[in-house]
Structure 1
Amino acid sequence: MDRRFANGTVNAAQTGSGPPLVLMHSLLSDRASFDRIVPTLSESFRVVVPELPGFGQSEAVSGGLAAVADRMAGAVDDLADGEDVIVLGNGYGGFVALQMAIRHPNIATRLVLADCGAAFSEPGREAFRAMAAASAAKGLAAITDVAMRRLFAPEFQQAHPDLMRDRREAFLKTDPGVFRAACEALAGLDLRPQLGQVKVPVLVVVGEYDEATPPPMSHELAAGLPQARLKIIAGCAHVPQLQAPQAFLSAVGDFLGRR
C-alpha cells in the first residue's frame, strides 16, 4: 500500500506491522531493490520504503543533499507517528540517512548504513563527475553499463539476465536532472567532520566487492562514528540486499532486533 508523507511530497510503500523501519534506496536503483527483504522484515516491522525526492512519484527538491535529508526527515517524522524509528539506507540512501541523522539528531534511534561512507576519494569524486557529464551529453542510456557495473560484478550480471534487465529498466526511468544533481552532491560531499554528532548506534554494512563505495569508505565511516560496528558481506557488491538477501538479513538481523 502506498502512502504519502511530508505534506504529500514523499511517496512510500508500507507493509507489515510493528515498530517503523524505513528503507532508503540507492541512486542507481529504486525502491524495488528492497523487494527481496521486505517480506521477511515486515514480519517484525512496519516497513516503509519511500521513493527518495525526485524518484518515482516523490517530488524533487533543490538545495543539494542537505535539502534531500531535510525532506526525508519530514517524511520520517510524519510516518513515525510518535514511535521510535530505525532507518536503513543503501548507497545514496545511506548518504541521505547519514546527513539526516547529523541534521536531525532525534530522527532515528538506530541507523543501518549499507554501502556508503562519509566522503569519496578523488577517483570516486571524478567518477560521479564523469557520470554526470556523460548523462548530460548523451543521456542515461550512455552510462547504463557503467551504472550496472557499479551495482553488480560482471559474473553476477551474466548469471542473472532477468534481474539485470529489470535493473536497467529501473535505472533508465531515473529523472536525468535529479541524477546529475545527486552525482554533483556526492562528488562534493565530506561529512567526516560531523560524524561525531551522530549519537545513536549505527551498523555499517558493505559488500566485499563493492566498486561504487569500496569497503575502505565503510571502514572510515565506522571508525568516525561514536557508536558503530562494521560488517562485511562476502561475495557481494553495492546492493547486497538484492544480490544475497539472506546474507544481508543475517548481517543486520540482530542489530534490528527482528523477532
Structure 2
Amino acid sequence: MTVPILKAALLSEATEEISTPILLVGPSLGTTARTLWGRAARILGARYRVVGWDLPGHGHSPRPAERFTMAELAEGVAGLVGGMREQGEWGGYPVFYAGDSLGGAVGLQLGLDYPDLFAGIGVICSAAKIGERQGWLDRAGTVAVQGTPTMIVGSGQRWFAPGFMEREPEVSSRLLHALSDTDRQGYAFCCEALADFDLRDRLGDISAPVVAVSGEFDTVTPYEDSWAIARSVQRGSAEWVPGAAHLVPVEAPERIAEILMRHFDRAVAESPAVVSVSAASPAGRLPGDPYDAGMAVRREVLGDAHVDRATAAIDEVTAEFQEMITRFAWGTIWTRPGLPRTTRSAITLTALIAHGHWEELAMHVRAALRNGVTRGEITEIILQSAIYCGVPSANSAFRVAQRVLNEVPPVE
C-alpha cells in the first residue's frame, strides 16, 4: 500500500480580484475533473480559483503501481494542497473542497483525517459507504481483465438522468470517452478502495462544514445517503437537485454552483476567525450578523428584482419590520442547515395556504421554483393541503399557483 501520485490542473481563474479563495474539486470514478467539472467551473470561477485533481490512472494522474486505500487517496489530495501552499501558489486564502461520488467520499475522508485543511466541504452524489464490498471487487476483477470499455453501458445508465444523453450528446460523449480512456488498473484499484470504504460510524468526528447534495434520479447514492451525512457530521446540511442523477456538476452546473457558493459563504461567515470588530461591514454589521446572511438568502430565494422592489419601498414606518424579517426569518431560519430548501418551500406554501395569505403564496410559488421544487411537486403540496387545510383553501391556492406557473416558462 502506498500514497498514489495525483495531478491537479487549473480549471478556472477567479474573475474578480476579491474572489481569491481556492476550490479544489474531485471527480467521480471513471471521469476526469475537467470533463465532470468544466461547466460548473466556468460559473464558480466568478468567485474561486477552481482546481481539479484526477484519480490514479484517470486524466493527468499516472497509473498506480500499487493498491491504495481511501485514506491513502485522501493523503495524496492533502499532499497536493500542502505542496501548493509551500510553493506559495495559494497564498493564505481559504481552500474549499467539493467532490462527486468517489471524489465526495474522499471529501469525507479528508474532513476526518485533516480537520483544518478545508474551510468547507461539498459532498455530491456520494455516501459514507457506497455500494457493497463484493460488488466493487467483482467490478474490479472485470475491468482488470476486460478494460474500462465494459463499463460504458452501465455507467451511462447510472450517471445521467432520463433524457440527458439525448439533450446533451456532446457532453455525455466526452464523459463516456474519458471512461473508455481510463487505465484499467487505476479504475480497478479505485474499486478496491471503495470496497473497504465505510465511514458511517465516524461521521460525527467531522468538524468542517459539510453540504451533502443528491440528484433526483440518482440510484447509486440517493437522497437518504445525503441526509445521513448531513445529520451525522457536526455541521451538516443537505440539498436535492431536481432533474439530475449521479453527475450533478455536469447535469446541473448552475444549481451546484449556487449550492456550493451559498454553503461556502456561510461557512466563512460562521468562522470565528472572520468575526471581529475591526472587520465590520460598511453598514456597521459584523460579517457573522444574521442580517447579512439573511439578505443573501432572501435574494437567492426570492430573486434580486423582488428584493430590490421591497427595499426601495422601505420608509420610516416599515424599516424596522424589514430589518426584522431579513435578520430573523431569512437570516436565522432559512439559513439553518437542518432542512433542504425544497422542504422549507413546501412547509412555507402549506402554511400560507392554511392562513389564506394569497399574495405571499404567489411570491413563494415563484420562490419554490427557484429552490428546485418542481411543478408536479407544487401540485402535490396543494393536494396535500386540501386534506389538512380544507378544499376551499386548496381551490384558491390552485388559482394562484396556476397564474404564477403560467407566467413562468417550464424548464426544458
TM-score, length of structure 1 as denominator length: 0.88
Pair 250,97 (structure 1): closer, same or farther in 2 beyond 3 Å: same
Which residue of 1 is the match for residue 180 of structure 2? 172
Long gaps (5+) in structure 2: 15-19, 85-89, 267-295, 297-412
| Preserved CA contact (<8 Å) 1:77 1:107 | no
Which stretch of structure 1 is more off in the superposition, 192-201 or 148-157? 148-157
| Preserved CA contact (<8 Å) 1:52 1:72 | no
Which residue of 1 is the match for residue 171 of structure 2? 163
Distance between the aligned counterparts of 1:238 and 1:151, measured in 2? Answer: 5
Match of 1:203 among 198, 201, 211: 211
For 1:21, the aligned partner's letter is L
Pair 40,120 (structure 1): closer, same or farther in 2 beyond 3 Å: closer
Superposition deviation, residue 115 in structure 1: 0.7
Which residue of 2 is the match for residue 104 of structure 1? 114
Higher helix proportion? 2
Which residue of 2 is the match for residue 119 of structure 1? 129
Percent identity, please: 28
Match of 1:86 among 85, 96, 103: 96
Pair 246,19 (structure 1): closer, same or farther in 2 beyond 3 Å: same
Superposition deviation, residue 210 in structure 1: 0.8
Distance between the aligned counterparts of 1:65 and 1:239, measured in 2? Answer: 20
Which residue of 1 is the match for residue 71 of structure 2? 66
Superposition deviation, residue 240 in structure 1: 1.1
Q: For residue 130 of structure 1, give the secondary structure of its aligned residue in structure 2.
A: helix
Is it true that 1:75 corresponds to 2:80 in the alignment? yes
Superposition deviation, residue 164 in structure 1: 2.3
Higher strand proportion? 1
| Preserved CA contact (<8 Å) 2:131 2:220 | no
Q: For residue 94 of structure 2, give the secondary structure of its aligned residue in structure 1.
A: coil
Structure number with the bigger relative contact order (C-alpha 8 A, sep ≥ 6) is: 1
TM-score, length of structure 2 as denominator length: 0.57
Is it true that 1:95 corresponds to 2:105 in the alignment? yes
Superposition deviation, residue 88 in structure 1: 0.7
Q: For residue 54 of structure 1, give the secondary structure of its aligned residue in structure 2.
A: coil
Report the count of equivalent residues: 251
RMSD after superposition: 2.2
Q: For residue 122 of structure 2, give the secondary structure of its aligned residue in structure 1.
A: strand
Q: Specify the structure having the higher radius of gyration (Cα).
A: 2
Q: For residue 262 of structure 2, give the secondary structure of its aligned residue in structure 1.
A: helix
Distance between the aligned counterparts of 1:161 and 1:47, measured in 2? Answer: 25
Distance between the aligned counterparts of 2:197 and 2:27, measured in 1? Answer: 18
For 1:33, the aligned partner's letter is L
| Preserved CA contact (<8 Å) 2:123 2:210 | yes
Distance between the aligned counterparts of 1:224 and 1:193, measured in 2? Answer: 9
Superposition deviation, residue 167 in structure 1: 1.5
Long gaps (5+) in structure 1: 1-5
The structure 1 segments of at least 4 consecutive aligned residues displaced by more than 6 Å after TM superposition are: none
Distance between the aligned counterparts of 1:14 and 1:247, measured in 2? Answer: 18
Distance between the aligned counterparts of 2:11 and 2:131, measured in 1? Answer: 36
Match of 1:24 among 23, 26, 45: 26
Distance between the aligned counterparts of 2:107 and 2:165, measured in 1? Answer: 28
For 1:113, the aligned partner's letter is V
Distance between the aligned counterparts of 2:170 and 2:148, measured in 1? Answer: 20
For 1:200, the aligned partner's letter is A
Post-superposition CA distance 1:137-190 (Å, at most 9, x none): 322212210112121134222333222221211101111111111112212211
Q: For residue 192 of structure 1, give the secondary structure of its aligned residue in structure 2.
A: coil
Distance between the aligned counterparts of 2:112 and 2:204, measured in 1? Answer: 9
For 2:59, the aligned partner's letter is G
Superposition deviation, residue 40 in structure 1: 1.6
Post-superposition CA distance 1:4-38 (Å, at most 9, x none): xx9x8523225313111111111131112111111
Is it true that 1:245 corresponds to 2:247 in the alignment? no
Is it true that 1:137 corresponds to 2:145 in the alignment? yes
